[in-house]
A and B are shown apart, each in its own frame.
Chain A
Amino acid sequence: MIANWYTIVFQAINFMILVFLLRRFLYGPIIEAMDERERKIVQREETAASRETEAEEARRTFRQRTAEMEARAEEFTQEARADAAEKKRALLEDARREVETSRRRWQEALEEEKADFLRQLRVGIGRGATSVARRSLADLADAELEVQIRRHFLSRLHDLPGEERLSLAAAMDEDEGRVQLRAAFEVPDRWIGQLEETLRATLGEPDRSMEVHRRVDPGLVCGIELETGGHRVAWAIDSYIGEIEEELIREVEGWVEPDSDEEENDHDAK
């Protein structure tokens, strides 16, 4: 017989033992290792997926924050621009005000200078004109004119108004009858007597005693001045000349003013 039952049974048992052995040493461990690896791969994939989600979340957060920061930066920039514009406006305003102030100051200084100049000019012109008048009057003055002046002075004393007479009398009392006489020329003794007479008549006191001190003062142009106790009675061509001077200055102002306006306009144009 090709096969014998003894060997067949033996081999069947052997095979079953081999099935058990391989199950114990081959399939079990190998499959377990493969399953374990698969589990780990799945786990790793899950970890990777969760990390990706986290990364995505982080990226989204980052983007959001970046956007917020950009928006804030934009806001700051806008604010800064607005502030800068405001500051610029204020500075310009200040500068303009300052320029305006300095311009006004300058203008005032100019005005003042101009006024000063004009004043000096007026005074100069007035003085020049009057000095010319004075000199010519002084040149013209002679005995006849002096007589006329003295007469005119006496008549003026004589025609003093009532209140002035009283105050003159009071001043004279105060000075104990001392009278200072200043004249641009020599006064003769005779005329002093006339003066005393006229004073007594004017004050209405024929017995009044007085003491006249005379003095020549060339500063009084063609004039006579009487002074006692602070009261003064005078006549001089100077007062006329003063009036003429004032008149002259007024006149000069009249033709200087338009010019100054023109100057101002020129300055503004510049």
Chain B
Amino acid sequence: MTINPDEIILLQRGWFVINATILFTWLVMLLLTLGSWLVTRNLMSEGTLSRWQNLLEVLVDGIREQIREVSRQDPGPYLPFVGTLFIFIAFSNIMGIVPGFITPTSSLSTTAALAICVFIAVPVFGIARQGLLTYLRQYLEPSFFMLPFNVIGELSRTMALAVRLYGNMMSGAVIVAILLTIAPLVFPVVMQALGLLTGLIQAYIFAILAMVYIASASQAQRQLEARRRESKWKA
């Protein structure tokens, strides 16, 4: 049994390799894009909405509400990034129930890539929101000596993000595989149903955590400014 889908090489031309992770990622991307295009091709702004448009509106609006609740900010700029994280992970995990489909998120490479994306997105959003210097200054808070700890914290949470998702997805696949050898009937189905739930929860957790990290980058700055204003008043 192959635990790592990265190792399933489908095509190799010199350094260019297409493994199962990449292929199934493309498949997910294709399905999502195609589905979105088909639904949003003729949207209705009034009258009776189509079933699919309704579903997508509920989904997009739900994500926006979650972002607004977590960040207390306008969800507009964060929606494409955080929403895509959720949709991609959730759809990949759900597709895992299809026999023969290898979930891309069960590869550590995918989860690490997503975590790295978050790792990059946090400073990008932070700097875009409050400028480079203001953003960098928060690594020196509360004092210069805390800089290494802040950096380590940043790195470790990125790693935790990647490993958490990978571990959950991997374990789900592994448990099903193991159970199939012990009790090939009925029981794996239950586990797979549980896997669906876990997959959705993990997608939610991943997206929310990413949002929290991004939001904290700007909120920290705001708290800092508030504290400064308070000290000025006291003086």
A143 interfacial contact with B, CB 8 Å: no
Which of chain A's residues has its CB closest to B43's CB? A33
- On whether the beta carbons of B40 and A26 are closer than 8 Å, the reply is yes
What is the size, in residues, of chain A's interface with B at 8 Å between Cβ atoms? Answer: 31
- A146, B49: Cα distance in complex, Å: 154
- Type the 1/0 row for A1-38, where 1 means its CB is closer than 8 Å to any CB of B: 01110111111101111110111011101111110110
The answer to whether A23 touches B116 (Cβ under 8 A) is: no
**Given A7-B19, A40-B46, A25–B80 Cβ distance below 8 Å?**
no
Number of A-B contacts (CB under 8 A): 114
Q: How far is the CB of A42 from chain B (nearest CB, A)?
A: 12
* B117 near A16: Cβ-Cβ < 8 Å: yes
Counting chain A CB atoms within 10 Å of each CB, the highest count among B56, B88, B104, B112 belongs to: B112
Interface residues of B in 47-88 (CB under 8 A from A): 53, 56-57, 60-61, 79-81, 83-84, 87-88
Whether B45 is near chain A, meaning CB under 8 Å from some CB there, is: yes
Determine the chain A residues whose CB is within 8 A of the CB of B61 once the complex forms: 34
A30 pairs with B29, CB closer than 8 A: no
Chain B nearest CB from A25 CB (Å) reads 4
Give residues in B with beta carbon < 8 Å to A: 4, 6, 15, 17, 19, 21-22, 25-26, 29, 32-33, 36-37, 40, 43-46, 53, 56-57, 60-61, 79-81, 83-84, 87-88, 104, 107-110, 112-114, 116-117
A interface list, Cβ under 8 A from B: 2-4, 6-12, 14-19, 21-23, 25-27, 29-34, 36-37, 40
Task: List the 8 closest pairs (A to B, CB-CB), nearest first.
Answer: A11-B113, A7-B109, A29-B40, A36-B45, A26-B36, A3-B108, A25-B36, A33-B43
Residue contacts A-B, CB under 8 angstroms, 11 given: A10-B109, A15-B84, A17-B29, A18-B29, A18-B32, A21-B29, A22-B87, A23-B80, A25-B33, A30-B53, A33-B53
